[in-house]
Chains A and B, each alone.
Chain A
Amino acid sequence: MQDIVKEDDILLEVRNISLSFGGVKALEDVSFDIRKGEVRAIIGPNGAGKSSMLNVINGFYHPQEGQIWFNGQLRNRMKPHQVAKLGIARTFQNIALFKGMSTLDNLMTGRYIKMHSNLFAQMIWKGPAQREEIEHRQKVEEIIDFLKIQSIRKTPVGKLPYGMQKRVELGRALAAESKLLLLDEPMAGMNLEEKEDMCRFVLDVNEQFGTTIALIEHDMGVVMDISNRVVVLDYGKKLADGSPDEVRNNAAVIDAYLGVSHD
């Protein structure tokens, strides 16, 4: 957790986002910002619209209303692969890896946007294309060391246990060296030990690489421990926004999580 996060250094801002599918309102007039270098948590009960929010930022969904500002610029309607090129990487709640490919190939694919050699050079596999492969391979090896997944380098990821797959997915997102990392429930379904490992990695990424992180998480203990600021969603609306302590003591948040007493 970085202590010095300047208030005016905003990396991403969503303004008045409304998203609906037919008659179902997934998000209603949600605004918040993510500052450079912080760990920002998005929490809320099931169906609160957290994943929808990530999908909006990531370009899978296009909100009917609202604006997205990234790096001080208003972003046009973009496709996910264009968003990736802007420098936003992500992981998924139910893991989206290339299951037939090895860990190494998954991470190399994560560097897709960083590789620039043209198709012709790749065909010949000499000169620039070859140099590029070697260069990027080094970077990928660094990430493999960082995440301590050396032993599964050549294993097809479909064969790995769940916790390891989550780690490889994080690795693939890291490989893009993006400015903003979106993590959709990175610790879901993990045991205590795996959770602690993952927390460690998230914090290390934030500290060592200075990557800004936005994460969705259900485990309140984890959220309070690792995030700088927390935004709370409920039924598609923003309920609260502030430091972990503020949010924890917010009456509306307590109601949403524990139910309202009617006396």
Chain B
Amino acid sequence: MTPDFLHTIEVILNGLMAGVMYSLVALGFVLIFKASGIFNYAQGVMALFAALTLVGFQTGQVPFSHLINELFGTQIHHWGPGMNNLIAILLTIVVMIVFAWLVEKLVLQHMVNQEPIILFMATIGLAFFMEGLGDLMWGADIKTLDVGIPSGGSFWWEDVTRTWVSEGYDYYGMYIDLLDVYATGIAVLLVTILTLFSQFTKTGRALRAVADDHQAALTVGISLRTIWVIVWSIAGIVALVAGIMWGSKSGVQFSLSLIALKALPVLILGGFTSIPGAIIGGLIIGVGEKLFEFWIGPLVGGATENWFAYVLALFFLMFRPQGLFGERIIERV
């Protein structure tokens, strides 16, 4: 194999793994959109909030410490040395579940039967609120997140791929980030669990039922409000996983919430109502933007990754607005 060919494989592999990260964020959107028809603008901020909370627990920060210090003139910052990763993650999950319950209680409950655009506006408000709350609770400084997932290049893979090249070429092997590999594994695990849960359990069936037909779900005794709390909790947990992955990669900071923007083209490609769509859409975007950068990038001066996904989404909007896997839009005349 020539080095050029191996380079291309490397680019595709890295694209696939970047795509998994996009899929993770898109998945949270799809879950909520299917169950309640709400496009949850706050999904990205939920990932940020979850990651902030996790770091806060890990390092033993006192929530609202700045506020408390300001109000009472105290000097508290940390309550202790922090806690074990696993306990911190479990506690963060609890926080996300409580958050889901509060969202239902304080926001959604009062907006039943409203237009989708109004619910969408409500989630924009929610996004700003959570952004502020995250800052207030844990401070606005950039934090590093390390939950013990290995990162950095895999030497083993480098050694293996080095031997693939044909004789007479110089080749140093493929670079692959271990963090990306783990992220992929965890994402696969998460999607598998979600799929099994929705196929084979009573609550999973209820989730699908609500996604399918609200009226019918009510008549068989399913409470929409309970289901919404569950769905927002799951979306919160998915946001936490996305927050951990992106946070480990590039630090926990405000820009983390902007990954939601990258999920938009993924959703347009995959369709807003399809979980497999979110995954495959993410992979296509991930591979597409990396390959585009690799092949076309040098011709146009690079930096194509910033806009490629959006342009691709634009073409989809023109020719296949329901996405690859979304339910077909049929207008009756």
**A interface residues with partner B (beta carbon < 8 Å):** 58, 60, 79-81, 84-85, 89-90, 92, 96-101, 105, 108-110, 112-113, 115, 117, 119, 122-123, 125, 129, 132-133, 172, 176
Residues of B within 8 A of A100 (CB): 208, 211-212
CA distance A262 to B319 in the complex (A): 62
Main secondary structure of the interface of B (DSSP, over half): helix
Complex interface bits, B285-323 against A, C-beta within 8 A gives 1, otherwise 0: 000000000000000000000000000000000000000
> CA–CA, A252 to B223, complex, Å?
42
16 residue pairs bridging A and B, Cβ less than 8 Å apart: A58-B219, A81-B223, A85-B221, A97-B216, A98-B208, A98-B209, A98-B213, A98-B216, A101-B212, A112-B220, A112-B221, A115-B202, A122-B197, A125-B200, A125-B201, A133-B201
Query: With A112-B220, A112-B222, A176-B221 given, is the CB distance from A98 to B215 under 8 Å?
Result: no
| Nearest residue, chain A, Cβ from B215 | A96
User: When the two chains form the complex, which single residue of A60, A99, A110, A123 contacts B220, counting CB atoms closer than 8 Å?
Assistant: A110
Digit string of B188-201 for contact with A (CB within 8 Å is 1, else 0)? Answer: 00000000110011
- Bound complex: CA A176 to CA B222 (Å): 12
CA distance A202 to B218 in the complex (A): 23
Q: In the docked arrangement, what's the CA distance between A153 and B219, Å?
A: 22
Min distance, Cβ A82 to any Cβ of chain B, angstroms = 8
Report whether A108 and B205 are in contact in the complex, using a CB–CB cutoff of 8 Å: yes
Interface residues of B (CB under 8 A from A): 196-197, 200-206, 208-209, 211-213, 215-224, 230
Chain A residue contacts of B221, Cβ below 8 A: 81, 84-85, 112-113, 176
Write the nearest CB–CB distance from A171 to chain B, whole angstroms: 12
A55 CB to nearest B CB, Å: 10
Bound state CA distance, A80 and B218, in angstroms?
6
By the criterion CB–CB under 8 Å, are B201 and A122 in contact?
yes
| Interface contact B208-A90, CB-CB below 8 Å | no
In the A-B complex, the 3 residue pairs with the smallest Cβ-Cβ separation, listed nearest first, are A84-B221, A96-B216, A113-B221
C-alpha spacing A58/B217, complex, angstroms: 13
CA distance A84 to B219 in the complex (A): 6
Identify which of B205, B212, B219 contacts A90 (C-beta below 8 A): B219
Assess A122 versus B203: contact at CB under 8 Å? Given A85-B221, A101-B209: yes
Residues of B near A133 (CB, < 8 A) are 200-202
B203 partner residues in chain A, CB cutoff 8 A: 119, 122
Collect the chain A residues with CB atoms within 8 Å of residue B218's CB.
Answer: 60, 79-81, 84
Cross-interface CB contact of A96 among B197, B200, B205, B219, cutoff 8 Å: B219
> Could you say which of A58, A92, A98 contacts B212, with CB atoms under 8 Å apart?
A98
Inter-chain contacts of B224 with A (CB < 8 A): 81
Q: How far is the CB of A234 from chain B (nearest CB, A)?
A: 27
Residues of chain B within 8 A of A84, CB atoms compared: 218-221
Give complex CA distance A112, B207 in Å. 11
Beyond contacts A90-B219, A101-B212, A109-B222: 7 other A-B pairs, Cβ-Cβ < 8 A, are A80-B218, A84-B221, A96-B215, A98-B216, A105-B208, A122-B197, A122-B201
List, in ascending order, chain A residues with CB within 8 A of B230's CB. 119
A119 to B201, CA, bound (A): 9
Contacts of A112 in B (CB 8 A): 202, 205-206, 209, 220-222
Residues on A with beta carbons closer than 8 Å to the beta carbon of B205: 101, 105, 108-109, 112
Whole-angstrom distance from the CB of B260 to the nearest CB of chain A? 27
If the complex has contacts A98-B213, A109-B206, are A80 and B197 also in contact, measured as CB distance less than 8 A?
A: no
The closest CB in chain A to the CB of B230 belongs to A119
Query: Chain A residues near B212 (CB, 8 Å)?
Result: 98-101
> Which residues of chain B come closer than 8 Å to A90, judged between CB atoms?
219
Contacts of A109 in B (CB 8 A): 205-206, 209, 217, 220, 222
- Chain B residue at minimal CB-CB distance from A99: B212
Chain B minimum-CB-distance residue to A115 = B202
C-alpha spacing A85/B223, complex, angstroms: 10
Return the chain A residue nearest B201 by Cβ.
Answer: A122
- A119 — which chain B residues lie within 8 A by C-beta? 203, 230
User: From residue A153, how far is it (CB to closest CB) to chain B in Å?
Assistant: 15
- A34 CB to nearest chain B CB (Å): 18
Taking the closest CB of chain B, its distance from the CB of A156, in whole angstroms, is: 10
Please indicate the chain A residues that have their CB under 8 angstroms from the CB of B216 in the complex.
Answer: 92, 96-98
CB distance from A121 to the nearest CB of B (A): 9
CA distance A125 to B198 in the complex (A): 12
Q: Considering the chains assembled together, what is the distance between the CA atoms of A129 and B200 in angstroms? A: 10
The answer to whether A89 touches B219, judged by C-beta atoms less than 8 angstroms apart, is: yes
Interface centre among B197, B202, B219 (most CB of A within 10 A): B219
Nearest neighbor of A122 in chain B, beta-carbon distance: B201
Residues of B within 8 A of A101 (CB): 205, 208-209, 212
